[in-house]
C-alpha cells in the first residue's frame, strides 16, 4: 500500500493538481517518485522501460530488491553526470520468497507480516504527521 498526493507545485504556486506520482513498474512492483516534474516522469518511465526490457531479454522479471538496486545505481550515476535527475524514489513490491517489501534510498525497510488494516493505520499516521508538520510550519511563520 503506497499513497501520494497529486499536487505538483513550484514554490508557493500549485502548477497541477492531478500529477501521477505512483507508477506501476511490473505486476509485482510499484514506484512512487517525487521531484522536479519533468525529472520524475522521465526517470520513472526510464526505469519502467528498462525493467520491461530486462524481462524480454532474460525471460523473467527482476525481483523488488534487484529492481531497487537497478534504480539506485541509475539514480546515483545520473546524480554524478552533467544531467542529474532531482528525484526521490520509494518502491514497493511483492516477492514470492520474501513477501511484501518497501525500499527507499540506500537502506531498505521491510515491515514483515503486516495485515492490510495495519498497513492502512501506518499510512494514516504518515498522513497525520505530514499534515501536522505543515500546520506547525504555518503557525511558526506567523
Tell me the per-residue pLDDT of 86-111, one tens digit each, with 9 for 90 and over.
888 888 888 888 787 777 654 444 55
Closest CA to 62 of 103, 94, 102: 94
Q: Are 110 and 102 in contact (CB under 8 A)?
A: yes
Residue 3, in any domain of the structure: no
Confidence of residue 134 (pLDDT cuts 50, 70, 90): low
Which pairs from 80-87 meet CB under 8 Å and 24+ separation?
A: 85/35, 85/36, 85/39, 85/40, 85/42, 85/43, 86/35, 86/36, 86/39, 87/33, 87/34, 87/35, 87/36, 87/39, 87/40, 87/43
> Are 119 and 63 members of one domain?
no
Higher local confidence (pLDDT), 34 or 132: 34
Do 94 and 119 belong to one domain? no
Average pLDDT over residues 1-7: 67
In a domain, 2, yes or no: no
Whether residues 71 and 138 share a domain: the answer is no
Cell numbers linked to 9: 507545485
Q: Which residue has the cell 527482476?
A: 62
**Domain CATH number, residue 72:** 3.60.20.10
User: Do residue 48 and residue 87 come from a single domain?
Assistant: yes
The count of structural domains within the chain is: 2
For 23-71, write each residue's pLDDT tens digit.
898 888 998 888 777 888 899 999 999 999 999 999 999 888 889 889 9
Q: Give yes or no: residues 56 and 69 share one domain.
A: yes
Q: What's the domain range around 117? A: 113-142
Asked if residue 96 and residue 119 are part of one domain, the reply reads no
81 in any annotated domain: yes
In a domain? residue 1:
no
Continuous segment of H or E residues that includes residue 56: helix 37-58
- Phi, psi (rounded to 5 degrees) for 34: -125, 160
Amino acid at each position: 500500500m503506497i499513497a501520494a498526493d497529486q499536487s505538483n507545485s513550484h514554490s508557493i504556486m500549485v502548477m497541477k493538481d492531478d500529477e501521477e506520482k505512483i507508477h506501476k513498474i511490473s505486476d509485482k512492483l510499484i514506484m512512487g517518485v517525487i521531484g522536479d516534474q519533468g525529472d520524475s516522469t522521465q526517470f520513472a518511465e526510464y526505469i519502467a522501460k528498462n525493467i520491461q526490457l530486462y524481462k524480454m531479454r532474460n525471460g523473467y522479471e527482476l525481483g523488488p530488491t534487484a529492481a531497487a538496486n537497478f534504480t539506485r545505481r541509475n539514480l546515483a550515476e545520473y546524480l554524478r553526470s552533467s544531467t542529474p535527475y532531482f528525484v526521490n524514489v520509494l518502491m514497493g513490491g511483492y516477492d514470492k520468497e520474501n513477501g511484501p517489501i518497501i525500499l527507499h534510498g540506500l537502506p531498505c525497510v521491510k515491515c514483515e507480516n503486516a495485515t492490510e488494516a495495519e498497513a492502512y493505520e501506518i499510512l494514516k499516521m504518515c498522513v497525520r504527521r505530514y499534515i501536522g508538520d505543515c500546520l506547525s510550519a504555518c503557525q511558526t511563520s506567523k
